Structure 1
Amino acid sequence: MAHVLSASAGISLTARIRSAFEGVIASWMKAREFQRTYNELDALSDHELSDIGVRRADIADIARAHVYG
């Protein structure tokens, strides 16, 4: 008879809840960092953006790459 073991069989319910909560907090913090980066770049004038070689249409992609890699 074959037995299948769950990967979380040895992890307590409290540890799983804590891990899920930490994952939510980490996602929330990354979303805040994305928004902060986006807002900072979006606040620059077109002239300032061109000085650093960024097009306004690329702001979201740049913010996403900065935060999520």
Structure 2
Amino acid sequence: MFVTMILSRVRAYMRYRETVRELSRLSDHELSDIGLARSEIDAIARAG
């Protein structure tokens, strides 16, 4: 049970980091095209 919880948190963190990495690679124009501002990347990744 404890191991499952830890693995779940690790996977969630990995998804968060991947989302931040991918969105950070986009230009400001590309982010604007999808309705995001650079300052929103962290919040979007955490909500993911």
User: Is the TM-score greater than 0.5?
Assistant: yes
Over the aligned positions, Cα root-mean-square deviation in angstroms equals: 0.5
Using the alignment, how far apart are the partners of 1:61 and 1:28 within structure 2? 18
Structure 1: tracts of 5 or more residues without a match = 1-18
Q: Which one has a larger percent helix, Structure 1 or Structure 2?
A: 2
1:46 aligned to 2:34? no
Structure 2: state its 5+ residue gaps: none
- Matched positions, count: 48
Divergent runs of 4+, >4 A: none
Structure with the larger RCO, 1 or 2 (CA within 8 Å, 6+ apart): 2
Q: Normalising to structure 1: TM-score of the pair?
A: 0.67
Larger Cα Rg: Structure 1 or Structure 2?
1
The TM-score normalised by the length of structure 2 is: 0.95
